[in-house]
Amino acid sequence: MRKRWIALACCLLLVVPTVSYVRALLYPGNASFGVRTVEWVRDHGGGAIIDAVETWRYSRQQPPATGAPVDVTGPSKVPTPKVGHPPTAALPRVRLLPGVTPLAHEGVWSEARASRIGVPLVWTSWFRADPGHLPVSVAAALLPRKSYHLHLMPGTREPIVGMPSKDGYSVPAADRSALVATFNAGFKMKDSKGGWWTAGTSAVPLTDGRASLVILRDGSAQIGTWNQTVRMTKNVVAVRQNLDPVIVDGRVVDGLTVNANGRWGTVRSQFQYTWRSGVGIDANGNLIYVAGSKLTLATLAAAMHQAGIVQGMELDIHAAMVSFDIEQPGANGVVNGKRLLGSMNSPANRYLVDDQRDFFYVTAS
């Protein structure tokens, strides 16, 4: 009899976590089974275990030292300049690895998406950023200043679970005819050490000293350190914070290879060779997104610096999270997307359907 009562008690103890896990698997919003499972474990006290497994796994996926890049982006040649193209001086020079022979079209900005009148809305480039692992390639997407309108959208679970949103949790239908690009935001809010704010809601309080992407009323973006180089004004409509800055005043910050006090995530996450993304502003005010696979934190920051970013911050990491799509609206509300890098494995319609994570989307101004 005693064994039966023990067995019954064990079954009852399993009911609550089982129900919770099933709810996580069925919760609205796009997310794979693996992502839902990992995040449920994190949310229920298993974060340290997940971090340890990820660090063990990704730190041992060091890419080879030599070989050709496996993933590049952009057309095979630079397009013939048209009326309305930004002058060459408006596009930052991509700094290639010193002492490494450049490959064809490496570091060249190419038009990836133009408006109906031929004005470029997205420029892309690819290049190598790791002199110790030459097959590793990085891509950058540049949104020219005054040509874009940036928007921050919530997901069904981030910044907070069940956050009300009058525009839903995907790119609003009213904006799809002018859609230019979509891309991932930062870490989950509890891991970002920062806040999330829009004119409609202050979902998570903003934190002084955190790297912040600030969207102004005209749709342009600023990036800086909260209440140091960027702050709240009447022109601010949205703020997304994530960890500490990685590039300040045109220089890669110190300490990335040490990550003391977990300024950029868990203490050893900087050693993981994994998908990483970042965003920044160049000297001309253009917005630049950078991403690649098999990057460490230091390599990501180096790549962002190579792309011309002078103020920059890390965004999300790992293959399931890093996503940049160049969008081309078609007839009857259909939107066709092209990934910045072909090896990005997020769904082709990510952010065109409800997603669990918050994200950014870009419309033509």
CA dihedral 65, 68, 71, 72 (to 10 degrees): 120
Report yes or no: 96 and 134 within 8 Å, Cβ to Cβ.
no
Q: Residue 86 — pLDDT band, cuts 50, 70, 90?
A: low
Report yes or no: 281 and 253 within 8 Å, Cβ to Cβ.
no
**What pLDDT does 68 receive?**
86
Cα 363 to Cα 27, 118, 177, 288, 324: the distances in Å are: 29, 16, 9, 15, 14
Report yes or no: 359 and 351 within 8 Å, Cβ to Cβ.
yes
pLDDT tops 70 at residue 51: no
Report yes or no: 167 and 141 within 8 Å, Cβ to Cβ.
no
Mean pLDDT, range 10-37, rounded to an integer: 63
Mean pLDDT, range 240-259, rounded to an integer: 95
pLDDT tops 60 at residue 79: no
pLDDT tops 70 at residue 56: no
Dihedrals phi, psi of 300, to nearest 5 degrees: -60, -50
**What digits encode the pLDDT tens for the residues 149-185?**
999 999 999 999 989 999 999 999 999 999 999 999 9
Cα 281 to Cα 113, 128, 221, 304, 361: the distances in Å are: 19, 20, 8, 10, 16
State both tokens at 34: 């693996």
pLDDT tops 80 at residue 59: no
Chain-centroid distance, C-alpha 131: 24
**What pLDDT does 78 receive?**
45
Domain map (residue ranges) of the chain: 2-55, 61-364
pLDDT tops 60 at residue 313: yes
**What pLDDT does 306 receive?**
98
Q: Residue 117 — pLDDT band, cuts 50, 70, 90?
A: confident
Enter the pTM of the model: 0.90
pLDDT over 90 percentage in the chain: 65
Q: How far apart are CA 123 and CA 112, in angstroms?
A: 5
Alpha helices by DSSP H, listed for 27-123, are 33-41, 47-58
pLDDT tops 60 at residue 236: yes
pLDDT higher at 344 or 271: 344
Amino acid at 155: G
Dihedrals phi, psi of 58, to nearest 5 degrees: -75, -30
